[in-house]
Amino acid sequence: NAGVTQTPKFRILKIGQSMTLQCTQDMNHNYMYWYRQDPGMGLKLIYYSVGAGITDKGEVPNGYNVSRSTTEDFPLRLELAAPSQTSVYFCASRPENTEAFFGQGTRLTVV
Amino acid sequence: AQSVSQHNHHVILSEAASLELGCNYSYGGTVNLFWYVQYPGQHLQLLLKYFSGDPLVKGIKGFEAEFIKSKFSFNLRKPSVQWSDTAEYFCADYEAGKLIFGQGTELSVKP
């Protein structure tokens, strides 16, 4: 099993550009999450999903969108990139009633 | 509103010293508590988890944690740290499907 796979690993965007961070899991997990991690700030929940077709906002959803058309995929979309979105993004998934598994992360820089 | 709080932001220890990192949670529903570790440049990995049963939980790499319901605490301990334990440690809790993290504690172990 590949687990949770995030692509790309690194990306530099210009202000105002858009991009999609991909997240795929092959463990048939219902729950999926997107976090951003900034130095000294811990992990902030952006969006989450409890199953295909269902998504909900976390603590810091502004400037982001998600979709969950399949169990496996949970892409995160940035429409108009801003310097404040420079961060490391982690995707995670979990089954019912146990721990979450994390992807390797995407380091995004907006210039 | 639920939250997870970690008391220490940065802890510096010498090798062989004992470690205790504090974590308090506020969610009053079903208990699902975790400690994750993030080594420099890597993604989060599970150290241990507690759902029910024996309040003293043993995890990987010699770590353990004690769940104290009356204090809403889930502190992480290790009797003797090693240089390789240098990392960031996160306490986490589930609330209504969301996985919420504390701010993290950066542990530096001096050889």
Chain segment A45-100, per-residue pLDDT in tens: 999 999 999 999 999 999 999 999 999 999 999 999 999 999 999 999 999 888 99
Quick check: A92 and B99 CB within 8 A? yes
Distance from CA of A84 to the nearest CA of B (A): 19
Report the mean per-residue pLDDT for chain B: 93
Helix residue ranges, H only, A46-101: none
- Interface-testing mutation among B7, B43, B91, B106, with chain A (most A C-beta atoms within 10 A): B43
* Cis status of the peptide bond prior to A8, with omega within 30 of 0: yes
Whether residue B2 is predicted with pLDDT greater than 60 in this model: the reply is: no
Q: How many CB pairs under 8 A join A and B?
A: 46
When pLDDT is cut at 50, 70 and 90, the band that residue A17 belongs to is: very high
Report pLDDT for B49. 95
Q: How many residues are present in chain A?
A: 111
Helix residue ranges, H only, A18-111: none
Quick check: A43 and B98 CB within 8 A? no
Cβ neighbours of residue B62 under 8 Å, at least 6 residues apart?
A: B78, B79, B80
Quick check: B98 and A90 CB within 8 A? no
Whether residue B97 is predicted with pLDDT greater than 90 in this model: the reply is: no
Burial class of residue B98, CB neighbours in 10 A (0-12, 13-18, 19+): middle
